[in-house]
Amino acid sequence: MLRPRTAAVASLLLIPMVAGGFFLQQAPPRATPRLFDQVLAIVASRYVDSLQSPEVFEKAAKGLVRELNDPYSELFAPRQSEEFNRSTGGRYGGVGMLLEEQKVGAGTSIIVSRIFPHTPAEDGGVHEGDRIMRVDSLPTADAKIDKVSDALRGIPGTSVQVVFQRPRVVEPVKLTFKRAVVHVPAVPYATIIGDRIGYIPLQTFNENTAEEVDAAATKLVGQGARGLVLDLRDNGGGIVEQALAVSSLFLKSGQPIVNVRSRNAPDEVARATSEHLATQPPLVILTDGGTASASEIVAGALQDHDRALVLGTTSFGKGLVQSLFPLDGGYALKITTGKWYTPSGRSIHRERKLLADGRFVETRPDSLETEAEKKARPTYSSDAGRTVYGGGGITPDVIVPDDTLLTTEQEFLRAIAPKAQAFVTVLNQYAFELKGSAPRDFSITPAWRTELRRRLGTAGITIDQKYEPAATRILDRELDRRLSRLVLGDAGARQRSVAEDHQLARAVALLAGARTQEALFAAGRTGASLNAAVKPDHN
């Protein structure tokens, strides 16, 4: 009697099973080029606001690149493409001034903060601290710095008239410049520090970098330098070919510099060429969290081949290869096509994820970096058998943390943060005014401190007594830093500030006692052991 009901239930159960089996055998729905055409047509014809066809195409293309979730891939519009080429090429048509936007009362002013050598601005007598009032017919009051910069740039050989307001000069200064191809230096200066130690700050990798590093190193060795410091801190990279050329200066012909591994192509190995420095003194490379990309290629190659002691903190870890593809209409696509590996096989890249707000963070962030924590990283071997560490970025042979502010100094800076721009403006203007009277061996005087505080008060910046003496230390340091560069130049200012730069001071100390690279490594091992014995203070 129960069999018919049981059979019916079984039949009912069988239907969805068969149906389920049927649907599982169907190919899942897939997006096709027709999907894009359909969405594009509906947006173009039915979206509530009308959009021009070029705008729709650009938005669609940018959306595709954005959905790769790769912070390094980007679609450049024509103007962005020009800016990118200019920033990496190192040359542009202009007058040779670095501009800075400063808060003045309720508005803003555009101030000349630096003048590049051998440019129309230098030849025309522009002063650092001059305020730009007009560029041709463009008044600059409350103008954005990008707009002023664009007005100054143009085709080399064309003319541009600029009106300046100069401190302590009543009448405006009117100058006419003929725009020229401006060379932005990769090495702004090179100098001797301490006991015959050559210092080379390398800011970027543009088309002139290897030539400038070669010239700087040759000059310093000629001046008696018996050791070199190549400062790659805050160098975010640039042209990879220049990183290879800089590495070649310090390596032997044929030594591998970097290995590129891509998805649909065989591995590529870039090797050192025959262009080397005539003299090869002991070398320290400084790195920090701002050392990235092309800079990491240089640091990693010279570390793996035992040609440089790396000192500082672990680099950023941008080990992705970007290729630039020119597109129709002046557009360009910068897209990730591979990864870099050092000669010992270490991946330079440190994995990060892109957040919804546009920031990207490490998937496994480092804690406070110490020698003990460094040893938990994957290990590799240099040519001479020294241990070098992987795990993303270039880990230094000797870890020296960045200089950090005391707690009271941090609290003071947070307190004045709402007035930060006015704070910087007052410091800059006062430094410019002191430039003409300050001796080369100046010290911050009580009278200067009093006047600086008066000016800060006039700008609405009050200093609570509870922040003393931290506030005085910061004011002295910031005024000294600005005035040093104005009075002594970049090289002189660096020589004056070595003691305050703990990483550079350690590099100079290690080089002072080492006549060979091997002796430098031995001194570095001793220094690393001392670092490991000191427990970090987290307070």
DSSP 335: E
> What whole-number distance in Å separates Cα of residue 376 and Cα of residue 364?
13
DSSP H or E segment with residue 23: helix 3-24
Q: Which of 159-173, 200-214, 235-249, 466-480 has the least mean pLDDT?
A: 159-173
* Predicted local confidence at residue 79, as pLDDT: 82
* Predicted local confidence at residue 19, as pLDDT: 40
* Predicted local confidence at residue 527, as pLDDT: 67
pLDDT digits (tens, 9 = 90+) for 201-223: 999 999 899 999 999 999 999 99
> What whole-number distance in Å separates Cα of residue 138 and Cα of residue 432?
26
* More reliable by pLDDT, 247 or 168: 247
pLDDT band, residue 365 (cuts 50/70/90): low
Q: Is the pLDDT of residue 23 over 70?
A: no
**304 assigned to active site:** yes
Q: Is the pLDDT of residue 443 over 90?
A: yes
* More reliable by pLDDT, 309 or 55: 309
> What whole-number distance in Å separates Cα of residue 304 and Cα of residue 300?
6
Residue in 293, 295, 344, 347 annotated catalytic: 293
> What whole-number distance in Å separates Cα of residue 160 and Cα of residue 153?
9
pLDDT band, residue 321 (cuts 50/70/90): confident
**293 assigned to active site:** yes
* More reliable by pLDDT, 382 or 72: 382
Number of Cβ atoms within 10 Å of the Cβ of 288: 21
* More reliable by pLDDT, 44 or 475: 475
In the chain, what percentage of residues exceed pLDDT 70? 87
* Predicted local confidence at residue 404, as pLDDT: 76
Alpha-carbon torsion, ordered 473, 478, 480, 483, to 10 deg: -160
Listed by start position, the domains of the chain span: 37-87, 91-183, 191-353+371-399, 407-500
Q: Is the pLDDT of residue 13 over 50?
A: no
Q: Is the pLDDT of residue 483 over 50?
A: yes
Look over the chain and give the mean of its residue pLDDT values, rounded to a whole number.
Answer: 86
* Predicted local confidence at residue 444, as pLDDT: 97
Mean pLDDT of 241-253: 97
Residue in 130, 231, 288, 304 annotated catalytic: 304
DSSP H or E segment with residue 297: helix 294-304
Q: Which of 147-151, 227-231, 240-244 has the least mean pLDDT?
A: 147-151
Name the nearest CA neighbour of 128 among 485, 422, 448, 477.
485
Mean pLDDT of 302-315: 97
Q: Is the pLDDT of residue 31 over 80?
A: no
Helix axes 407-416, 470-496, angle to 10 degrees: 100
Evaluate whether 202 touches 187 at the Cβ level (below 8 Å).
yes
Q: Is the pLDDT of residue 524 over 90?
A: yes
Evaluate whether 78 touches 54 at the Cβ level (below 8 Å).
no
pLDDT band, residue 3 (cuts 50/70/90): very low
Q: Is the pLDDT of residue 24 over 60?
A: no
**318 assigned to active site:** yes
pLDDT band, residue 12 (cuts 50/70/90): very low
Q: Which of 261-265, 267-271, 516-520 has the least mean pLDDT?
A: 261-265
DSSP 155: S
Name the nearest CA neighbour of 285 among 327, 253, 244, 314.
314
Q: pTM (2 decimals)? A: 0.79
Mean pLDDT of 269-291: 95
Q: Which fold has domain 191-353+371-399?
A: 2-enoyl-CoA Hydratase; Chain A, domain 1 (3.90.226)
Q: Which of 51-60, 385-394, 456-465, 484-493 has the least mean pLDDT?
A: 51-60
pLDDT digits (tens, 9 = 90+) for 79-134: 888 777 766 665 668 999 989 887 766 678 898 988 888 899 999 999 888 899 99
* Predicted local confidence at residue 422, as pLDDT: 81
pLDDT digits (tens, 9 = 90+) for 147-182: 899 899 888 999 999 999 987 788 999 999 999 988
Residue in 81, 247, 295, 318 annotated catalytic: 318
* Predicted local confidence at residue 355, as pLDDT: 66
Single-letter amino acid, residue 111 = I
Q: Is the pLDDT of residue 395 over 50?
A: yes
* More reliable by pLDDT, 69 or 336: 336
For the sheet with 191-193, list strands across it.
191-193, 197-201, 227-231, 283-287, 309-312, 398-399
* More reliable by pLDDT, 265 or 292: 292
* More reliable by pLDDT, 440 or 169: 440
> What whole-number distance in Å separates Cα of residue 203 and Cα of residue 94?
20
* Predicted local confidence at residue 142, as pLDDT: 79
Question: Given this structure, which CATH class describes domain 91-183?
Answer: mainly beta
Name the nearest CA neighbour of 162 among 194, 198, 133, 195.
133
> What whole-number distance in Å separates Cα of residue 501 and Cα of residue 521?
21
Structural tokens at position 309 = 């002691």
